[in-house]
Amino acid sequence: MFDDRAEAGRRLGRCLEEEFGQRPDVVVLGLPRGGVPVAVEVARILGAPLDVLVVRKLGVPSRPELAFGAVAAGGVRYVDREMVRRVGLSRKQIEEVTARERQELRRREEEYRGDAGDLSLEGRTVLVVDDGVATGATLQAALRVLREAGADRVVVAVPVAPADSLEQLEEDADEVVCLRTPDPFFAISPHYRSFPQTSDEEVRRLLGEARAEESPMGDVETG
């Protein structure tokens, strides 16, 4: 088990350090909220700049914890057609959930990134970090965003995930790094001793502290 997200991030960072440490082309992106405390530690160990990639899960109306897709910045939407068929969602239901989550997406973009401007990822190696994977829908959307943003290489890095979700992610990512793949897998939280909900305030604080520690990103531009 991991003690908490920070400890998981340190273990993940050490696993990634040999391949990605101190490389000027690497940038670490945390998926808020829970992925940010993990990503902070990864970025610190790698000596890489840190930012966030806001992605919102699309939950089945009757079971919001069950994802049928996700939306991300730039108008990207990922829909798991098999899940939609399995739970019998109508087009109207899909669009209603999408509209609501896109509104929240815009709020969080402003909340976390403020006037930082658009991420410039052209030619970069991007490590996208979360605190774990369940269905993989959120990360699927993130990978599509990063491809559209011109990232040269996209790496998924997570502490824990089920093997079948990782197999799906491997189709879109250049590399997938995961510390634990328990079987059976029921949820992310049982693999942490402490797994409180991460607040917007904590995300802002962690990002502020990380940006204060960072040196300029060289040839990476924002805005």
Q: What percent of the chain has pLDDT over 90?
A: 67
In this predicted structure, the answer to whether residue 217 has a pLDDT above a threshold of 50 is no
pLDDT at 127: 98
**Whether pLDDT at 202 is above 60:** yes
E strands, 92-149, in order:
125-129
- Which domains are assigned to the chain? 5-54+114-213 (3.40.50.2020)
User: Quick check: 27 and 210 in contact, CB under 8 A?
Assistant: no
Is pTM beyond 0.75? Reply is yes
Q: Model confidence over 130-175: pLDDT tens digits?
A: 999 988 888 988 898 888 788 999 999 999 999 999 999 999 999 9
Each residue's pLDDT tens digit, 27-72: 999 999 999 999 999 999 999 999 999 988 899 999 887 889 888 8
**Rounded Cα distance, 187 and 153, in Å:** 28
Give the neighbor-by-neighbor strand order of the sheet with 26-30: 50-52, 26-30, 125-129, 153-160, 175-180
